[in-house]
Structure 1
């Protein structure tokens, strides 16, 4: 696990900065600081968390509802359905990642499920080995370092950088769009499917103009899922 911790230190540095941006972003969109921190501790997924906050901000927001009227109005308030859908679409990638990892995890279904909570993007990629092997201890160590960095970064952003002007002054306002841009570029680099990427861009451009951001994110995520339906023979034919 020592190698995983060493790998995780570098990944944790990036996660910490992104988490600071998330904490500040959530608070400026009406979320209480405690809720943003709790979300990072439980969800631990930057893409899903940013998507959820953005979608709820466009449809009324869960933060103001929690502060003003309790959990009931928050759950029935505007935008909760599309917001949850967009966040779920962001996290669909973990299904095949966890499935590919399962055979390397010892124990019964419950034990493997618990170990599977360590499947996060950076740790999972770092744990891959030539020839199809997988270093589960490296993944555990790398994730063990990243999780506290993510939670602490969120706390710092939520408690210390609560204002929109502070976001702009520190450059944290560009972390959010830059994060999703990097996700898209990385997807194109590893699997250059231009048609689904074009559909994704078109969906975002069209729906953001006429719909709340929750619906726009959900439709954009659905466009991205179309890439999974690309026939294998077409992918193999590409250079």
Structure 2
């Protein structure tokens, strides 16, 4: 309850920033409020109104917002198993599947607490986000620049504060095995030694994708309409994966050639 209410209340306040930004981009009060009621994922909403406010084409702005929202589908797959909600409730719960509700639910040790955390975070955040969106849109002129109040970083700051304890817990050493117990596959010394290079390679790929995406977006900003650079940045992931696959096949060929030469010798 403490975590859920804290996250819901703190992140809900950043709806002020969206209301002000949306109004500044030329959206009407009704359009701003409907976006928060129906879309309800801050990053996608900011991307949409930001691209439209910069003169981007509506289709490009919508496509960029949709790409940012795709991550919620993956959250939904994980939460579907964890929460185990009845079929009749799932369409309603899907509206609340966002970064903060997923983080709170996944941080809980059992299904009962996961459901409680998800529900309380969803109710608090949905209500707070929509109320502050309305207030921000109504008082856009009086509020001024949302960055001056720090509202533009409230959501990311709270989300990172919630994630850090989870990262620290998962990076801690595993508990020692019981005497006489047989290590599970991938859990013993050999499994750990095998898993480390895999994790290191995955981390390198993630960093490469992030860096390449930033470079692609920055390179396209001066030449492409608003909303399009983020679509181009998506190409970073398949590009890195393709290069990794080529390097892997090349390394395999070199190993086979070396083995054949060793047999001939």
TM-score by length of structure 2 reads 0.65
CA shift, 1:8, in A, is 2.8
Q: Does 2:197 correspond to 1:218?
A: no
Q: Does 2:6 correspond to 1:29?
A: no
Q: Which has the higher contact order (CA 8 A, sep 6+)?
A: 1
User: C-alpha distance in 2, partners of 1:142/1:30?
Assistant: 31
Structure number with larger C-alpha Rg: 2
Alignment of 1:82-93 (within 5 A): 82-93=60-71
1:209 to 222, 238, 244: 222
Pair 220,166 (structure 1): closer, same or farther in 2 beyond 3 Å: same
CA shift, 1:40, in A, is 0.7
CA shift, 1:51, in A, is 0.5
Which residue of the partner structure matches residue 51 of structure 2? 55
CA shift, 1:159, in A, is 0.7
User: C-alpha distance in 2, partners of 1:166/1:205?
Assistant: 28
User: C-alpha distance in 1, partners of 2:85/2:216?
Assistant: 42
Q: Is the 8 A contact 1:89 1:222 kept in 2?
A: no
Which residue of the partner structure matches residue 13 of structure 2? 17
Which residue of the partner structure matches residue 114 of structure 2? 135
User: C-alpha distance in 2, partners of 1:132/1:225?
Assistant: 36
Pair 223,85 (structure 1): closer, same or farther in 2 beyond 3 Å: farther
Pair 179,112 (structure 1): closer, same or farther in 2 beyond 3 Å: closer
User: C-alpha distance in 1, partners of 2:219/2:159?
Assistant: 20
2:35 to 36, 39, 46: 39
CA shift, 1:203, in A, is 1.5
Which residue of the partner structure matches residue 150 of structure 1? 129
Pair 155,43 (structure 1): closer, same or farther in 2 beyond 3 Å: same
Which residue of the partner structure matches residue 197 of structure 1? 210
CA shift, 1:46, in A, is 0.5
User: C-alpha distance in 2, partners of 1:80/1:143?
Assistant: 29
TM-score by length of structure 1 reads 0.71
Alignment of 1:114-125 (within 5 A): 114-125=92-103
CA shift, 1:178, in A, is 8.4
Please state whether the residue corresponding to 2:26 is helix, strand or coil: coil
Pair 81,14 (structure 1): closer, same or farther in 2 beyond 3 Å: same
Pair 129,17 (structure 1): closer, same or farther in 2 beyond 3 Å: closer
Please state whether the residue corresponding to 2:14 is helix, strand or coil: helix
CA RMSD of aligned residues (A): 3.6
Which residue of the partner structure matches residue 65 of structure 1? none
User: C-alpha distance in 2, partners of 1:228/1:114?
Assistant: 36
